[in-house]
Amino acid sequence: MKMLTTAILIVIVTSGVDGQQVKFKKHENVIYGMISGMALLMDIYQPEKSNHRGVIFIGGSGFGVYDSYQRIYNQKPLKGDYTGDQYAGKFAQQLVDKGYTVFFIDHRFAPRYHYPDIFYDCQRAVKFIRYNAEKYDIDPKYIGAMGHSSGAYLSSMLGVVDTTYQNISKNPIDSLSGKVQAVVSLAAPYNLADFNPRQDSSYNFIIKTLLNYIGEYPKLTKGNFELSGLYAEASPIIHVTENDAAFLKYHSTDDFIPYRQAVAMNKTLTETAVASKLVTRQGQGHGPIPDMNEIDLWFKKYLEIK
Protein backbone atom coordinates (compact mmCIF):
# COMPACT_ATOMS: atom_id res chain seq x y z
CA MET A 1 0.00 0.00 0.00
CA LYS A 2 1.35 3.38 -0.98
CA MET A 3 1.19 6.32 1.38
CA LEU A 4 -0.54 9.58 0.51
CA THR A 5 1.05 11.28 -2.49
CA THR A 6 0.23 13.99 -4.98
CA ALA A 7 -1.16 13.18 -8.42
CA ILE A 8 1.21 14.01 -11.26
CA LEU A 9 0.23 14.63 -14.88
CA ILE A 10 2.72 13.57 -17.55
CA VAL A 11 2.27 13.82 -21.32
CA ILE A 12 3.90 10.89 -23.09
CA VAL A 13 4.45 10.12 -26.75
CA THR A 14 5.40 6.53 -27.49
CA SER A 15 5.42 4.08 -30.37
CA GLY A 16 2.38 1.81 -30.55
CA VAL A 17 2.51 -1.83 -31.58
CA ASP A 18 1.94 -0.88 -35.23
CA GLY A 19 4.74 1.69 -35.17
CA GLN A 20 2.36 4.65 -35.01
CA GLN A 21 3.00 7.40 -32.49
CA VAL A 22 0.53 7.35 -29.63
CA LYS A 23 0.15 10.39 -27.43
CA PHE A 24 -1.46 10.06 -24.04
CA LYS A 25 -1.60 11.72 -20.65
CA LYS A 26 -0.50 9.75 -17.62
CA HIS A 27 -2.05 10.79 -14.31
CA GLU A 28 0.15 9.21 -11.62
CA ASN A 29 -0.88 8.42 -8.06
CA VAL A 30 -4.50 9.51 -8.32
CA ILE A 31 -6.19 8.92 -4.97
CA TYR A 32 -9.46 7.01 -5.39
CA GLY A 33 -10.08 6.27 -1.71
CA MET A 34 -8.70 6.51 1.82
CA ILE A 35 -8.52 3.66 4.33
CA SER A 36 -7.39 4.55 7.87
CA GLY A 37 -5.12 7.30 6.55
CA MET A 38 -3.68 5.23 3.72
CA ALA A 39 -4.30 6.19 0.11
CA LEU A 40 -5.73 3.87 -2.51
CA LEU A 41 -4.00 4.89 -5.73
CA MET A 42 -4.39 4.45 -9.44
CA ASP A 43 -2.45 5.54 -12.50
CA ILE A 44 -4.57 6.71 -15.43
CA TYR A 45 -3.51 6.50 -19.08
CA GLN A 46 -5.68 8.83 -21.16
CA PRO A 47 -5.08 8.68 -24.93
CA GLU A 48 -5.27 11.85 -26.98
CA LYS A 49 -7.49 10.05 -29.51
CA SER A 50 -10.00 8.64 -27.07
CA ASN A 51 -12.96 6.39 -27.85
CA HIS A 52 -14.55 7.69 -24.64
CA ARG A 53 -14.56 4.35 -22.84
CA GLY A 54 -12.69 3.43 -19.68
CA VAL A 55 -11.18 0.07 -18.75
CA ILE A 56 -9.99 -0.72 -15.25
CA PHE A 57 -6.90 -2.98 -15.35
CA ILE A 58 -5.92 -5.15 -12.38
CA GLY A 59 -2.60 -6.94 -12.41
CA GLY A 60 -1.91 -10.41 -11.12
CA SER A 61 -0.16 -10.38 -7.76
CA GLY A 62 -1.37 -13.40 -5.81
CA PHE A 63 -3.45 -10.77 -3.97
CA GLY A 64 -0.19 -9.28 -2.74
CA VAL A 65 2.04 -12.28 -2.13
CA TYR A 66 4.40 -10.77 -4.71
CA ASP A 67 3.46 -7.11 -4.80
CA SER A 68 6.53 -6.23 -6.92
CA TYR A 69 5.01 -8.43 -9.65
CA GLN A 70 2.27 -5.89 -10.21
CA ARG A 71 4.74 -3.05 -10.58
CA ILE A 72 7.07 -4.90 -12.97
CA TYR A 73 4.57 -6.63 -15.18
CA ASN A 74 1.94 -3.93 -15.45
CA GLN A 75 3.22 -0.42 -15.11
CA LYS A 76 6.67 -0.53 -16.71
CA PRO A 77 5.52 -1.49 -20.24
CA LEU A 78 3.13 1.46 -20.31
CA LYS A 79 6.18 3.72 -20.61
CA GLY A 80 6.81 2.34 -24.08
CA ASP A 81 8.61 -0.94 -23.39
CA TYR A 82 7.27 -3.79 -25.53
CA THR A 83 10.40 -5.92 -25.09
CA GLY A 84 11.37 -8.66 -22.68
CA ASP A 85 8.96 -10.99 -20.92
CA GLN A 86 6.55 -8.34 -19.66
CA TYR A 87 3.13 -9.94 -19.62
CA ALA A 88 -0.05 -8.06 -18.75
CA GLY A 89 1.28 -4.52 -19.17
CA LYS A 90 1.85 -4.81 -22.89
CA PHE A 91 -1.78 -5.78 -23.40
CA ALA A 92 -2.93 -2.81 -21.34
CA GLN A 93 -0.77 -0.52 -23.46
CA GLN A 94 -2.43 -1.86 -26.58
CA LEU A 95 -5.78 -0.84 -25.09
CA VAL A 96 -4.42 2.70 -24.75
CA ASP A 97 -3.18 2.51 -28.34
CA LYS A 98 -6.72 1.58 -29.41
CA GLY A 99 -8.24 4.60 -27.68
CA TYR A 100 -9.30 3.26 -24.28
CA THR A 101 -8.58 5.22 -21.13
CA VAL A 102 -6.91 2.66 -18.86
CA PHE A 103 -7.09 2.88 -15.09
CA PHE A 104 -4.35 0.85 -13.35
CA ILE A 105 -5.33 0.35 -9.74
CA ASP A 106 -3.52 -0.47 -6.55
CA HIS A 107 -5.47 -2.25 -3.81
CA ARG A 108 -4.83 -3.42 -0.28
CA PHE A 109 -2.68 -6.53 -0.20
CA ALA A 110 -2.95 -9.91 1.49
CA PRO A 111 -2.08 -11.31 3.96
CA ARG A 112 -2.55 -8.13 5.99
CA TYR A 113 -5.93 -7.60 4.33
CA HIS A 114 -8.44 -10.19 3.17
CA TYR A 115 -11.67 -10.64 1.27
CA PRO A 116 -13.91 -8.67 1.05
CA ASP A 117 -11.70 -5.62 1.72
CA ILE A 118 -9.46 -6.20 -1.31
CA PHE A 119 -12.49 -6.62 -3.55
CA TYR A 120 -14.18 -3.56 -2.04
CA ASP A 121 -11.13 -1.50 -3.06
CA CYS A 122 -11.70 -2.56 -6.67
CA GLN A 123 -15.37 -1.63 -6.45
CA ARG A 124 -14.40 1.72 -4.98
CA ALA A 125 -12.14 2.30 -7.98
CA VAL A 126 -15.05 1.67 -10.37
CA LYS A 127 -17.26 4.06 -8.40
CA PHE A 128 -14.53 6.73 -8.42
CA ILE A 129 -14.07 6.35 -12.18
CA ARG A 130 -17.82 6.58 -12.73
CA TYR A 131 -18.08 9.69 -10.54
CA ASN A 132 -15.19 11.39 -12.38
CA ALA A 133 -16.12 10.20 -15.85
CA GLU A 134 -16.50 13.70 -17.30
CA LYS A 135 -13.03 14.67 -16.07
CA TYR A 136 -11.47 11.73 -17.91
CA ASP A 137 -13.72 12.03 -20.97
CA ILE A 138 -15.40 8.63 -20.68
CA ASP A 139 -19.00 7.42 -20.56
CA PRO A 140 -19.93 6.47 -16.96
CA LYS A 141 -22.57 3.98 -18.13
CA TYR A 142 -20.06 1.71 -19.86
CA ILE A 143 -16.91 0.66 -18.02
CA GLY A 144 -14.85 -2.43 -18.74
CA ALA A 145 -12.45 -4.48 -16.61
CA MET A 146 -9.48 -6.60 -17.60
CA GLY A 147 -6.93 -8.47 -15.53
CA HIS A 148 -4.59 -11.41 -15.15
CA SER A 149 -4.68 -14.16 -12.50
CA SER A 150 -5.80 -12.62 -9.18
CA GLY A 151 -6.49 -9.43 -11.14
CA ALA A 152 -8.65 -11.42 -13.57
CA TYR A 153 -10.51 -12.87 -10.61
CA LEU A 154 -11.13 -9.38 -9.17
CA SER A 155 -12.20 -8.14 -12.61
CA SER A 156 -14.62 -11.06 -12.83
CA MET A 157 -16.09 -10.22 -9.43
CA LEU A 158 -16.64 -6.66 -10.69
CA GLY A 159 -18.75 -8.16 -13.48
CA VAL A 160 -21.09 -10.14 -11.22
CA VAL A 161 -21.30 -8.30 -7.88
CA ASP A 162 -22.50 -4.79 -7.07
CA THR A 163 -22.43 -3.00 -3.73
CA THR A 164 -23.83 0.43 -2.95
CA TYR A 165 -23.99 2.31 0.34
CA GLN A 166 -26.76 4.87 -0.01
CA ASN A 167 -27.99 4.48 3.55
CA ILE A 168 -24.70 4.45 5.49
CA SER A 169 -22.47 6.93 3.68
CA LYS A 170 -22.77 10.62 2.92
CA ASN A 171 -20.18 10.38 0.16
CA PRO A 172 -21.94 10.55 -3.23
CA ILE A 173 -19.33 8.23 -4.76
CA ASP A 174 -20.51 5.38 -2.51
CA SER A 175 -24.04 5.51 -3.90
CA LEU A 176 -22.87 4.71 -7.44
CA SER A 177 -22.65 1.28 -9.00
CA GLY A 178 -19.37 -0.58 -8.63
CA LYS A 179 -20.21 -3.06 -11.38
CA VAL A 180 -18.64 -3.08 -14.85
CA GLN A 181 -20.36 -3.87 -18.15
CA ALA A 182 -17.73 -6.03 -19.87
CA VAL A 183 -14.92 -8.25 -18.54
CA VAL A 184 -11.83 -9.74 -20.14
CA SER A 185 -10.11 -12.29 -17.90
CA LEU A 186 -6.72 -13.95 -18.37
CA ALA A 187 -6.23 -17.13 -16.31
CA ALA A 188 -8.85 -16.34 -13.68
CA PRO A 189 -10.09 -18.59 -10.89
CA TYR A 190 -13.89 -18.63 -10.68
CA ASN A 191 -14.42 -21.28 -7.97
CA LEU A 192 -11.98 -20.67 -5.14
CA ALA A 193 -12.50 -24.10 -3.56
CA ASP A 194 -11.61 -25.98 -6.75
CA PHE A 195 -7.92 -26.61 -7.22
CA ASN A 196 -5.65 -29.54 -7.93
CA PRO A 197 -4.88 -32.20 -5.26
CA ARG A 198 -1.97 -32.25 -2.85
CA GLN A 199 0.18 -34.22 -5.27
CA ASP A 200 0.19 -31.33 -7.74
CA SER A 201 3.25 -29.05 -7.61
CA SER A 202 1.03 -25.96 -7.42
CA TYR A 203 -0.89 -27.10 -4.34
CA ASN A 204 1.16 -25.37 -1.66
CA PHE A 205 1.23 -22.09 -3.58
CA ILE A 206 -2.52 -22.14 -4.19
CA ILE A 207 -3.50 -23.03 -0.65
CA LYS A 208 -1.19 -20.33 0.77
CA THR A 209 -2.53 -17.72 -1.66
CA LEU A 210 -6.15 -18.56 -0.79
CA LEU A 211 -5.42 -18.60 2.94
CA ASN A 212 -3.82 -15.17 2.63
CA TYR A 213 -6.78 -13.81 0.65
CA ILE A 214 -9.73 -15.38 2.48
CA GLY A 215 -8.12 -15.58 5.90
CA GLU A 216 -9.09 -19.21 6.49
CA TYR A 217 -8.91 -22.61 4.82
CA PRO A 218 -11.84 -23.96 2.80
CA LYS A 219 -14.05 -26.49 4.54
CA LEU A 220 -12.93 -30.08 4.01
CA THR A 221 -15.67 -32.73 3.67
CA LYS A 222 -14.74 -36.38 3.10
CA GLY A 223 -11.38 -35.38 1.71
CA ASN A 224 -12.76 -32.74 -0.70
CA PHE A 225 -12.74 -28.97 -0.35
CA GLU A 226 -16.25 -27.59 -0.17
CA LEU A 227 -17.53 -24.45 -1.88
CA SER A 228 -19.17 -22.91 1.16
CA GLY A 229 -18.90 -20.00 3.56
CA LEU A 230 -16.50 -17.23 2.55
CA TYR A 231 -15.14 -19.35 -0.29
CA ALA A 232 -18.58 -19.46 -1.88
CA GLU A 233 -19.24 -15.78 -1.19
CA ALA A 234 -15.92 -14.85 -2.82
CA SER A 235 -16.33 -17.05 -5.93
CA PRO A 236 -17.60 -15.34 -9.12
CA ILE A 237 -19.39 -18.48 -10.34
CA ILE A 238 -21.80 -18.30 -7.39
CA HIS A 239 -22.98 -14.78 -8.21
CA VAL A 240 -23.93 -15.11 -11.89
CA THR A 241 -27.28 -13.54 -12.84
CA GLU A 242 -28.83 -12.50 -16.14
CA ASN A 243 -27.84 -8.86 -15.56
CA ASP A 244 -24.10 -9.48 -15.43
CA ALA A 245 -21.27 -8.17 -17.58
CA ALA A 246 -20.30 -9.82 -20.85
CA PHE A 247 -17.33 -12.16 -20.28
CA LEU A 248 -14.44 -12.92 -22.63
CA LYS A 249 -12.20 -15.50 -20.95
CA TYR A 250 -8.74 -16.76 -21.94
CA HIS A 251 -7.46 -19.92 -20.27
CA SER A 252 -4.80 -22.49 -21.08
CA THR A 253 -5.49 -26.19 -20.61
CA ASP A 254 -2.20 -26.62 -18.70
CA ASP A 255 -2.74 -23.75 -16.25
CA PHE A 256 -2.29 -24.59 -12.56
CA ILE A 257 -5.68 -22.92 -12.12
CA PRO A 258 -7.78 -25.80 -13.46
CA TYR A 259 -9.11 -25.26 -16.96
CA ARG A 260 -12.37 -26.87 -15.82
CA GLN A 261 -13.09 -23.70 -13.83
CA ALA A 262 -13.19 -21.62 -17.02
CA VAL A 263 -15.40 -24.25 -18.69
CA ALA A 264 -17.80 -24.25 -15.74
CA MET A 265 -17.93 -20.44 -15.60
CA ASN A 266 -18.60 -20.25 -19.33
CA LYS A 267 -21.41 -22.82 -19.00
CA THR A 268 -22.97 -20.98 -16.06
CA LEU A 269 -22.88 -17.64 -17.85
CA THR A 270 -24.28 -19.07 -21.08
CA GLU A 271 -27.09 -20.93 -19.31
CA THR A 272 -27.98 -17.70 -17.52
CA ALA A 273 -28.20 -15.88 -20.88
CA VAL A 274 -25.11 -13.74 -20.25
CA ALA A 275 -22.85 -13.04 -23.23
CA SER A 276 -19.80 -15.24 -22.75
CA LYS A 277 -16.92 -16.66 -24.76
CA LEU A 278 -14.12 -18.97 -23.66
CA VAL A 279 -10.93 -18.91 -25.71
CA THR A 280 -8.89 -22.05 -25.05
CA ARG A 281 -5.11 -21.95 -25.29
CA GLN A 282 -2.74 -24.91 -25.33
CA GLY A 283 0.64 -25.02 -23.64
CA GLN A 284 0.59 -21.41 -22.41
CA GLY A 285 0.36 -22.22 -18.71
CA HIS A 286 -0.62 -19.32 -16.48
CA GLY A 287 0.01 -16.77 -19.22
CA PRO A 288 -2.54 -17.27 -22.00
CA ILE A 289 -1.88 -14.89 -24.88
CA PRO A 290 -4.97 -12.85 -25.73
CA ASP A 291 -6.00 -11.61 -29.16
CA MET A 292 -6.10 -7.84 -28.68
CA ASN A 293 -8.17 -7.31 -31.83
CA GLU A 294 -10.75 -9.74 -30.46
CA ILE A 295 -10.70 -7.92 -27.12
CA ASP A 296 -11.14 -4.59 -28.89
CA LEU A 297 -14.19 -5.93 -30.73
CA TRP A 298 -15.58 -7.37 -27.48
CA PHE A 299 -15.28 -4.06 -25.68
CA LYS A 300 -16.65 -2.16 -28.68
CA LYS A 301 -19.74 -4.36 -28.69
CA TYR A 302 -20.50 -4.54 -24.99
CA LEU A 303 -19.33 -1.06 -24.05
CA GLU A 304 -21.43 0.13 -26.96
CA ILE A 305 -18.80 2.05 -28.89
CA LYS A 306 -20.44 3.34 -32.04
Straight-line distance from the first to the last Cα atom of the chain, in angstroms, rounded to the nearest whole number? 38
Q: Of the candidates 121, 131, 139, which has an alpha carbon nearest to the alpha carbon of residue 33?
A: 121
Angle between helices 117-131 and 150-160 (to 10 degrees): 60
Q: Considering just the CA atoms, what is the radius of gyration of the chain in Å? A: 18
Q: What percent of the chain has pLDDT over 90?
A: 65
Half-sphere exposure of 254 (CA within 13 A, CB side): 5
CATH number attached to the domain at 8-302:
3.40.50.1820
Q: Is 158 or 221 the better-scoring residue by pLDDT? A: 158
pLDDT digits (tens, 9 = 90+) for 193-218: 998 877 788 888 899 999 999 999 99
How does pLDDT run across 61-113, given as a tens digit for each residue?
889 854 443 443 344 444 444 333 457 777 888 899 999 999 989 899 999 99
Q: Using 50, 70 and 90 to split pLDDT, how confident is the model at 16?
A: low
205 half-sphere exposure, CB direction, 13 A CA radius: 12
Domain boundaries, the chain: 8-302
Q: What is the mean pLDDT of residues 165-169?
A: 63
Q: For 48-188, where are the E strands, in sequence order?
A: 54-58, 101-105, 143-148, 182-186
Does 258 sit behind a cis peptide bond, omega within 30 degrees of 0 on the bond before it? Answer: no
Long-range contacts of 32-36 (CB under 8 A, 24+ apart): 32/105, 32/124, 32/125, 32/128, 32/129, 33/121, 33/124, 33/125, 33/128, 35/108, 35/121
Instruction: Name which of 150, 148, 146 is nearest 73 in CA terms.
Output: 148
Query: For 130-158, how does the pLDDT look when each residue is reduced to its tens digit (9 = 90+)?
Result: 999 999 999 999 999 999 999 999 999 99
Q: How far is CA 305 from the centre of its chain?
A: 21
43-53 residue pLDDT tens = 899 999 999 99
